[in-house]
Structure formats: C-alpha cells, structure tokens
Amino acid sequence: MRSTFWLGRVAGIRVGVHWSVLVVFALILVGLAGGGLREAEPDRPAWQYWLASAVTAVLFLLSLLAHEISHALVARRNGVSVEDITLWLLGGLARLRSEAATPGAELRIAGVGPLVSLLLGGLFALAAGLLAWISGTGLAVAALVWLAVINLLLAVFNALPAAPLDGGRLLRAFVWWKTGSPLRATAVATGAGRVLGWSLVGVGLYLVLVGAVFSGIWMVIIGWFVIAVATAEGGQARLRELLGGIPVSDAMTPDPVTVLARTRIGDFLDDPRFRYRHSAFPVIDDRNAAVGLVTLKSADAVPAPERPSTTVADVMTSVDDLPTPRPDDSLARLVPELQAGSAHRALVLEGHRLVGIVTSSDISRVTAWLSSSSAWRRRTL
C-alpha cells in the first residue's frame, strides 16, 4: 500500500495518506451529518452538523494515526526499523523493515495498538461525560460519544486472534513462545485470519440479502481484505521457510558496476557502462565506501539544463535508507526488508566495502531454483 501524498514526519516516522482515506472521510462526514448527529441532536442548523461531522472525522483519522504510531514506536524500541506509516481505506498500516526477534518483542509491538485505541476510547468517553455534566447534551457531546464508541470497537476488533489484525500478532507471539517456531506460529495466525475473513464475507452477504446493503458491502470488503493479507502473510512465511539456511551471498550479484558519487548526471547518463543492462547502480565515494544507490529513472528526471551541475549524490538513495546485509546473513531475513523499501534492492557490505547487490529478481531466481523438485532434492540430500 503506497501513499498518495505525504503529511510529514511524526516522531521521526514518515506518515503518508492513501487516496482511499478520502472515501473514509466522506463516509463519516455524510453518515454523521445526515444521520448520527442529526438523530442525536435534531433541529440544529445544517452547517453545524457538517462542521461537527468534519471535526469528528479528522479526530477519528488522528486516532488511527495514534494507533499506528504506537506500533511504530514500540517496534523501534525493540530493534525493528520502521519504513513509514500509511493511512488508507480500512485504517492504518505501519511498514516494518524487519520482523520481531523474539515472541516477547512481537507481543509488545502487537499489543500496544489495541491498548492505545482502548485508552483513546476511555478518554473520549470521559470528555463526553465531563462536557455533558458542564453544559448538558449537544453536538460536541454526541461527537465525543461516537469517537469513544468507535475507538472501543476498533480496539475489540483489532484484538481478534487472526492475522493481519493485532490479535493475530498476539496469537503468533503465543504460538511462537509455545512451539519455538515462528513459521508455525505464522501459519496458525494466517489460518485464523482466513477463517475470520470468510466469516465476515458470509455475514456481509447475509446482511445484503436481508436489506442492509451498505453494512453488508462494507463487511464483505473488510472480509476480503483480511483474507488477502492473511494469505499474503502465509505465502511470505512459506518463502522464509524455503529460504531458510540460504546466505545472502548465494543470491547477490558480486562486484556490481558502481558509479562515483561526484559524477555529474550528464556524464552518468551518457556513459555506455550504465546503459541497457541495469536500471540502478551502487554509488561509492572516493575511498570506495558504499554511500547509496542511484536509479536511471531518478537521474533522467533531472532537467537537461541542470545535469552538468547536478551530481549522482544529489539524486541517490542514501545507504542509510537501504538494507545493507553482510554476505553470510540469512536471505530469509532480508526478504521483508527488500519488500518494505522503495528501492527493492540491498547493498551487500563487508564493513563499508561493497561486495554485491541483491534485488527482488535475485530472490525470485533463487526461489524458483529451490522450488524445482530436482534442486530441492539435491539440497536436502
């Protein structure tokens, strides 16, 4: 899920918004202004309903952001790098560049989200009670009550023991702790996720048949999302099992063609060494230390008049924003980092010295080889 635009950074974590958030905002706006708030506080001017609904929708989206930020902060404290956070149609998504190292870390990362939603629900309920005690009922009280209820429901729903919900992560942490196998734990959690997803689809179809069309369609959408993500996570677990024991050196391209960071963009694009075969190249400094990665696309985006004065260093992706495994690191642990990063490439380093590069295509090649029956038999003999 890629962001349509970026809002900025919160606690050093980049936060983006997918265009589908506009759908959520519109649904809440219309639903509250045309129904919920109007029923709770009738006979008010129309503009008051729309204003209160807009503020409520914004506060709800901020609640989702707080939920995801809590995951990201706890993940970072447990040694898991965070790529970014994206708000979208069905909530929020924090992209982690790696996985939790222990069941305890998984438990802490997953458990904080529902706790934050529960806390927010309690705070909104307390605020509604205090405001009602001070000034009586009103649109603000009705809006706060709605926010309290929706955050409590969010906490309960996310605590269901099925991937990709937070409860699925908690289930995975428990099974991992009991069995010692993170792969088996993932299989259990994703299996539970598919069961939940199909159950939601079934309930949604039933609601459509009995006349609750909007609620039914919404339930079906959520169910399909749960099924799709749980299935994808299960596939990733099988991939990690397949790649278990394979070092990064078996997949990397050794001694790749490099470009100096001080090279001018015009010279880079005109040099025949950087044409035709690859679309990205590692960048090194004058001491042969890896400093980043430059793509032909980013270089070509530089306007022609600026190319003689712009260097590769000006448009490259910094090495700090790329996976940098060692040759003997596990290839299975590199996979989620490659998928989370926008470059989909990793620079293989020994110290600061570049020894190779790994791309998603390299992972696919190794996976195809291992998946063939003859290769798998040779590996297991």
What are the pLDDT digits (tens) for 154-174?
899 889 998 888 999 999 999
Catalytic-residue membership of 68: yes
Domain count for the chain:
2
Model pLDDT, residue 375:
47
Do 252 and 143 lie in a common domain?
Answer: no
Last residue of a domain, one of 118, 143, 159: 159
Which of 39, 41, 68, 233 is the catalytic position?
68
Written as six digits, the tokens of 371 are 């998946």
Do 138 and 282 lie in a common domain?
Answer: no
Q: Please tell me the distance from the alpha carbon of residue 232 to that of residue 229, in angstroms, as a whole number.
A: 5
Model pLDDT, residue 264:
95
- What percentage of the chain reaches a pLDDT higher than 70? 95
Do 254 and 155 lie in a common domain?
Answer: no
Going across the sheet that includes 5-10, the strands are: 5-10, 13-17, 82-88, 91-96
CB 13 within 8 A of CB 85: yes
Model pLDDT, residue 14:
83
Cα-based angle 159, 161, 162 (whole degrees, multiple of 5): 110
Do 12 and 137 lie in a common domain?
Answer: yes
Q: Is residue 195 part of a domain?
A: no
Q: Is residue 242 part of a domain?
A: no
Cβ neighbours for 273, distance < 8 A, ≥ 6 positions apart: 257
Q: Is residue 221 part of a domain?
A: no
| Interval 108-137 mean pLDDT | 91
Q: Is the pLDDT of residue 90 over 70?
A: no
Q: Mean pLDDT for the chain?
A: 86
Strands 345-350 and 353-359: antiparallel
Q: Is residue 172 part of a domain?
A: no
Q: Please tell me the distance from the alpha carbon of residue 145 to that of residue 152, in angstroms, as a whole number.
A: 11
Do 26 and 148 lie in a common domain?
Answer: yes
Indicate the pLDDT class of residue 276, thresholds 50, 70 and 90: low
Task: Look up the pTM and report it.
Answer: 0.74
pLDDT digits (tens, 9 = 90+) for 314-338: 999 999 888 899 999 888 778 877 7
Last residue of a domain, one of 159, 182, 212: 159
Indicate the pLDDT class of residue 313, thresholds 50, 70 and 90: very high
| Interval 163-191 mean pLDDT | 90
Model pLDDT, residue 230:
87
CATH of the domain at 294: 3.10.580.10
Q: Is residue 200 part of a domain?
A: no
Q: Is residue 122 part of a domain?
A: yes
Model pLDDT, residue 310:
94
Measure CA 63 to chain center: 17
Do 152 and 256 lie in a common domain?
Answer: no
Model pLDDT, residue 315:
94
Indicate the pLDDT class of residue 279, thresholds 50, 70 and 90: confident
Q: Is the pLDDT of residue 220 over 70?
A: yes
Cβ neighbours for 34, distance < 8 A, ≥ 6 positions apart: 49
Q: Is the pLDDT of residue 179 over 80?
A: yes
Structural domain boundaries enclosing 358: 248-380
| Interval 258-272 mean pLDDT | 92
| Interval 237-264 mean pLDDT | 86
Do 153 and 277 lie in a common domain?
Answer: no
Do 152 and 260 lie in a common domain?
Answer: no
Lowest mean pLDDT among 108-112, 133-137, 296-300, 369-373: 369-373
Model pLDDT, residue 335:
80
Model pLDDT, residue 380:
46
Q: Is residue 174 part of a domain?
A: no
Do 268 and 139 lie in a common domain?
Answer: no
Q: Is residue 213 part of a domain?
A: no
Last residue of a domain, one of 159, 182, 202: 159
Written as six digits, the tokens of 93 are 């998504």
- Look-up of token digits 């060692």: 326
